[in-house]
Structure 1
């Protein structure tokens, strides 16, 4: 394995020259990658079920945005293998630090989709309890969550707990200073954290080749003394196998690990974006043909009955999601000031009272 630092000597921190792959784009088995084990069939079957549910959730959330039920929604269509593979590589008591695009992963983790949408409805910062779910609030500023993740991972290490932290990040986020600071801190303090880069080729409209001159984003680990690997991000088997290895590395006391998954964002950045201005339709169709669900269906030899049963369960889930979103949340504008400081400043008190007076005047 190219994964460890033993006796102070670096064996090999570099990722493989090609992304790890178990399943070809047509669903046939690829040449078995050296050093990685295929996950058991029951885990792969469960992964497929959650991918179907995740895709249905994603399309439903997109539809709700068009209906005005959400202010914005960043789709993860095409990234299902990354989203679900990451969740399945973690235990329930491990911590996850997601970005704004990772709602699908949180649904796969068992969080209530209506609660998840509080951020995108603009009703609350996070509609779920981070402590109970071991899931940090979804982070909109690029890469800031990576430093939060490392801080928590370092606390876990200091307490001697048998847990790990996984920080999601997009390719654009790797250009932020916070990401590099997080890598350095994690390596120096030997924090049990996995950095999972979902390289979907575009930082909004900026293509990967204009973001970095590195051969792959996984190579960014070497400068900090962090072992890294690349995986075919549309191959669920590869994603899960590589992340299993990375999580075991961190849990075993060997410090951080960096994984880059090569995938693609099929839809626009958000509903407010026009991706046709910077992406070629033929490119999108090429990636659509590498559909992670279709690949896994064929690889597992699923029958039409199996597939329809999973789709039916996903439809029931979507119906419950729609029904929950029909309930209008009760919003108190004064909550804006509730959790800014433990002891509100004079300026904050003044602002709160100004808003209180304005609201009272509107009701009069």
Structure 2
């Protein structure tokens, strides 16, 4: 049976509701979020930028093993967290720590894995936030599984699964979309297209007109959105979540943004891109854009902006206090949480470690 694919096609240009100068841009089918939502998003963006800056400082101080900054991509992450209901799930990648914090997870717990600890730091069942996923695209399959299970149970849960453009080149990405489409799983796939898979530019990854077009082959509607416009993101992602919750199946959203800083603290971005490429994106900063809009309409003044900055600074203080504290290591933790009932092999391994440590003490 041939199906009409017109409704699956994304817009020809990314949806934008507030331009880089802070001016509203009328868009058919998309309304600006209300003032309260935009002010709340601005406060979260300020906190996310401070979180990024503080984490980068902590990695230089040796308190984090690695940190993939989301500087410049904060609007994608804040919007992804804000459009979800309390019972919904968020499945982040290693770069989406700002989304995890915006979802309400403690910032120190959010960074536990990147600190190099043996555990994730927070309880996914309590927070409805899956562990940070370092392997590209593997968590998308888990996200689809949670969404499918929720649908089988008759729940109205929606899952937000975030990935980067590099993840769309992985087989797991395509398997996740195919399964989600066939079983109409209520999952929203948010692809943060920041132009690079570490050092590989987008044009070396795909020949598709856009990443949002990839949904067509699976029967999933795609949409493109300006990833530095938090207003457009709230509108597009909010609509996608609404459709998924209403039983319309999975949704694919491509957010066009840019990774201003290096891939991680261990990366030298100067080896594969120039300052001339980065500079234009600085003028499209997601925080400046919505701040200009809010100030122009009397929704934000210096006192309110200072209050949001102070709240963000207190978050940074908690990060410093929590991550500068030395936590005593107990080798037994490595074995205690592998299985509910330890296997004979685990008991043997734990005994060997205990013996080695005892010999060192003697």
TM-score (norm 2): 0.95
Please, which moves more after superposition, 213-222 or 353-362?
A: 353-362
- Give the whole-Å Cα distance in 2 for the aligned partners of 1:320 and 1:66: 17
Residues 1:101 and 2:101 are matched in the alignment: no
Q: 1:193 maps to which residue?
A: 187
Residues 1:341 and 2:334 are matched in the alignment: no
Correspondent of 2:16 among 3, 6, 21: 21
Q: 1:294 maps to which residue?
A: 288
Q: 1:316 maps to which residue?
A: 314
- Give the whole-Å Cα distance in 2 for the aligned partners of 1:189 and 1:119: 33
Q: 1:154 maps to which residue?
A: 148
Task: Report how far residue 241 of structure 1 moved.
Answer: 0.3
Secondary structure of 2:93's counterpart equals coil
Q: 1:361 maps to which residue?
A: 359
Matches within 5 A, 1:61-100: 61-100=55-94
CA contact (8 A) 2:220 2:252 kept: yes
Correspondent of 1:331 among 329, 332, 347: 329
Task: Report how far residue 178 of structure 1 moved.
Answer: 0.4
Q: 1:229 maps to which residue?
A: 223
Q: 2:303 maps to which residue?
A: 305
- Give the whole-Å Cα distance in 1 for the aligned partners of 2:184 and 2:5: 14
Secondary structure of 1:139's counterpart equals coil
CA contact (8 A) 2:68 2:264 kept: yes
CA contact (8 A) 1:123 1:331 kept: no
Unmatched 5+ residue regions in structure 1? 1-7
- Give the whole-Å Cα distance in 2 for the aligned partners of 1:163 and 1:9: 28
CA contact (8 A) 2:10 2:223 kept: yes
CA deviation map 1:3-47 (0-9, x unaligned): xxxxx86551010110000011111122x1211222111000000
CA contact (8 A) 1:125 1:137 kept: no
Task: Report how far residue 340 of structure 1 moved.
Answer: 2.8
- Give the whole-Å Cα distance in 2 for the aligned partners of 1:139 and 1:338: 22
- Give the whole-Å Cα distance in 2 for the aligned partners of 1:153 and 1:224: 17
CA contact (8 A) 2:108 2:318 kept: no
CA contact (8 A) 1:23 1:295 kept: yes
TM-score (norm 1): 0.95
CA deviation map 1:246-276 (0-9, x unaligned): 0001000110000000001111111111111
Residues 1:239 and 2:233 are matched in the alignment: yes
Correspondent of 1:143 among 125, 132, 137: 137
- Give the whole-Å Cα distance in 2 for the aligned partners of 1:93 and 1:130: 12
Secondary structure of 2:332's counterpart equals helix
- Give the whole-Å Cα distance in 2 for the aligned partners of 1:190 and 1:117: 33
CA contact (8 A) 1:232 1:239 kept: yes
Q: 1:273 maps to which residue?
A: 267
- Give the whole-Å Cα distance in 1 for the aligned partners of 2:252 and 2:219: 10
CA contact (8 A) 2:22 2:291 kept: yes
Residues 1:208 and 2:205 are matched in the alignment: no
- Give the whole-Å Cα distance in 1 for the aligned partners of 2:5 and 2:203: 30
Residues 1:260 and 2:247 are matched in the alignment: no
CA contact (8 A) 2:9 2:222 kept: yes
Q: 2:159 maps to which residue?
A: 165
Secondary structure of 2:160's counterpart equals strand
Q: 1:4 maps to which residue?
A: none
Unmatched 5+ residue regions in structure 2? none
The CA RMSD measured in Å over matched residues stands at 1.4
- Give the whole-Å Cα distance in 2 for the aligned partners of 1:346 and 1:213: 51
- Give the whole-Å Cα distance in 2 for the aligned partners of 1:263 and 1:292: 9
CA contact (8 A) 1:123 1:329 kept: no
Q: 2:28 maps to which residue?
A: 34
